[in-house]
Amino acid sequence: MCIIWFMIPSQPSNVMVISIALIIDVVGAMLTWFSFLPAVIVSMCPPALTLVGSLYLQGDKVFLAASTLLFLLTCFGIISSRKLAGMLNYALQMSFELEEQRQIANKERQLAIEASARAEQEAHNAQFERKRSVEIMTAAAQQRERLINLLKLKNEERERFIRAAYHDTMQPLAAIGAQTVVMKLDPGLTTNGPAIEALNEIERSRRDIAEGIRGIYDLFQWGAHEPKLEAVSIHDLLMEIEKRFSEPAKSINLQFRIHPSKVSKLHGNSDYAMLKRVLENLVSNAIKYTEQGGIVIGAVGFRETLRIDIWDTGAGIAPDQHQKIFEEFYQVDEQAPGIGLGLPIVRLLVERLSGHTLSFRSRLGHGSRFSITLPRCEAPTRLDQSPLTATTSAAPLTGAYVIVVENNKNVLNGLRSLFESLGCIVRIAVNLKDLQQLIEAAPDRAPDVVISDYRLRNNETGADVVKLIEQHFDWTIVPVVFYSANLDIPEALLAKPLRYIERKGIAPDSLITKVQEAVLSGRNVRTREIEEKALSS
């Protein structure tokens, strides 16, 4: 404005130079705020357009040139300001975005650092927990091992206690049983009715005690027994049952019948000892609760199974007692002998035998029928064993040479009296040394049978007895009957020919029958040996 006001038109060159210099100076100063276009327009356009118009009105070429140049500079300033403003705005926007991204990146980096720290802490915690878990598991395993070892020790202690208690109880019962039979055979007592009745009562009481103790022992023994399934001849099994229970049943005026013709070819897949115990308990129970009539045992075969039935004509069982009779120590008749373990043992054994089932039917006043169903199988192929097979008829024992090896003096004296009363020649020994002396006293006379306890003193066993007998009488086979309260006799020892086992304390009659069978079998073998030698010579 000042240039216009003091402009001297007569000197256009000076005016132009001064104007251009001032305009450049103003424009240069304005470039510092060219980024804000409205400010450029407000501050630059009024003076610039006024000057351009004044110069243009002068009409001179120089003024026209200055006016044109000034106009172009003004336009350039406006255009440059617009572009610069856009560039600055973009730069600011990018700066803001970069700052925002930087802040986001910093935040993410901080989060990553925190996450890494948490992960590291969690890994440390996991490692600590894992280490602690391993320590806990190790401690638990050690504790479990200690408990298992303690349980084994307790079971071993219990087993030793039960076996010792059973053995120590059966020893005097065996002695009582033997002496009772001896007294009943005394000619002076055969006509004394009250004395015979008293002896019978003693024998019944002794047998009840023995059966009760045997039941408790069986609950322990069979619970840990692993069944050994094999082909079992039902005929042979029932013949064993008949041998044991026929006379006791007849002694109380009960009929006892078995149908061997129907079972002669039947074989079942079972454990012989366990199945025999099942039938013994069922038959014993039937005899106990039958006052008149009798017991009938039979078997029937099907395509894949067979069934053994035991009928009795007893009083029967009420429906509300059908489940209770299988409970330990429960008795239908509290006045009946025994302690109520027969049927619980039957249930336990049947449950342990694969494929075996137990069923029964009973009506009050009409008796009962118990049935055992088991898998059927083919008869095993066997070699001819006729030389070692005894007949079922009782062999006379008169004159039989019997050696008894027993460390309990009461049992030893009872057995000696028993078999001497039956006409046997009895020699006794309490250990291997005594047995050695007996053999050396008559080295050429083999005994007809050796009756031996299995557990002797000073760690001597029935196996040592058999070994000594076999060494001295290697020219023949001597029957051996193990009469023992301990039933843990090695199977390999019993698997040899003419080896028998009879449980102590149950029934002297059963021992006598077993000894008769052993004597007869031994004599059959020796007769066969003599015939073979005669033929060979």
Q: 514 and 391 in one domain?
A: yes
| Predicted local distance difference test score (pLDDT) of residue 264 | 64
Joined together, the tokens standing for residue 357 give: 């089932």
| Residue located via tokens 């009973």 | 362
Count up the domains in the chain and report the number: 3
Q: Confirm if 498 and 479 have CB atoms less than 8 A apart.
A: yes
Q: Indicate whether 209 belongs to any domain.
A: no
pLDDT for residue 62: 64
Closest CA to 426 of 454, 457, 405: 405
- Are 262 and 144 in the same domain? no
- SS3 at position 254: coil
Query: Environment class of residue 343 by beta-carbon count within 10 Å: exposed (0-12), middle (13-18) or buried (19+)?
Result: buried
- Does a structural domain hold residue 212? no
Residue 505: inside a domain: yes
Per-residue model confidence (pLDDT) at position 42: 66
Tell me whether residue 327 is in a domain.
yes
Task: For residue 445, report the phi and psi dihedrals to the nearest 5 degrees.
Answer: -110, 105
Q: Characterize 39-69 residue by residue with b for buried, 16 or more Cβ atoms within 10 angstroms of its Cβ, and e for exposed.
A: ebeeebeebbeebbebbeebeeeebeebbeb
Q: Look at 459 and 57; give whichever has higher pLDDT.
A: 459
Same domain, 27 and 146: yes
Q: Quick one: 342 and 448 in the same domain?
A: no
Q: What is the pLDDT of residues 159-213, one digit of tens each?
A: 777 777 777 777 777 778 777 777 777 766 666 677 777 877 787 777 777 777 7
d(CA 177, CA 159): 26
- Model pTM greater than 0.85? no
The answer to whether position 214 is within a domain reads no
Q: Residue range 274-279: average pLDDT?
A: 90
Q: Are residues 358 and 441 in the same domain?
A: no
Question: With 60 as the cut, is the pLDDT of residue 387 above it?
Answer: no
Residues 159 and 293 both lie in one domain: no
Report yes or no on 180 lying in a domain: no
Please compute, for residue 317, the number of CA atoms within 13 A of its CA located in the half-sphere on the CB side: 21
List pLDDT tens digits, range 494-522: 778 888 888 876 677 788 888 998 999 88
Please indicate, yes or no, whether residues 328 and 259 belong to a single structural domain of this protein.
yes
Kindly report, residue by residue over 12-69, the tens digit of the pLDDT: 556 556 666 656 655 555 555 555 656 666 666 676 667 667 766 766 666 677 667 7
Q: Which of 114, 132, 167 is the C-terminal boundary of a domain?
A: 167
Q: What is the pLDDT of residue 386?
A: 39
In the predicted model, what is the mean pLDDT of residues 215-240?
79
Instruction: Examine residue 24 and state whether it is found in any structural domain, yes or no.
Output: yes
Dihedral sign from CA coordinates of 31, 33, 36, 39: negative
In a domain, 192, yes or no: no
Mean pLDDT (whole number) for 263-292: 86
Inform me whether the pLDDT recorded for 6 exceeds 60: no
Nearest partner of 213 among 166, 147, 278, judged by Cα: 166
Residues 52 and 62: their CA atoms lie apart, in Å, by 12
Same domain, residue pair 238 and 265? yes
Same domain, 366 and 461: no
The proportion of the chain whose per-residue pLDDT surpasses 70, expressed as a percent, equals 77
- State residue 457's pLDDT score: 86
Band the pLDDT of 270: cuts 50, 70, 90: very high
Kindly state whether residues 148 and 23 are assigned to the same domain: yes
CATH number of the domain to which 456 belongs: 3.40.50.2300
Domain boundary among 133, 151, 167: 167
Claim to verify: residue 339 and residue 423 sit in the same structural domain: no
Residue 290 is part of a domain; what is its CATH number? 3.30.565.10
Please tell me the predicted confidence (pLDDT) of residue 311: 92
The confidence band for 381, taking pLDDT boundaries of 50, 70 and 90, is: low
The share of the chain scoring above pLDDT 90, in percent, equals 17
Whole-number pLDDT of residue 268: 92
- pLDDT for res 307: 93
Whether 355 has a pLDDT exceeding 90, the answer reads yes
Does residue 490 share a domain with residue 367?
A: no
Domain range for 450 is 386-536
- Domain end marker among 150, 167, 184: 167
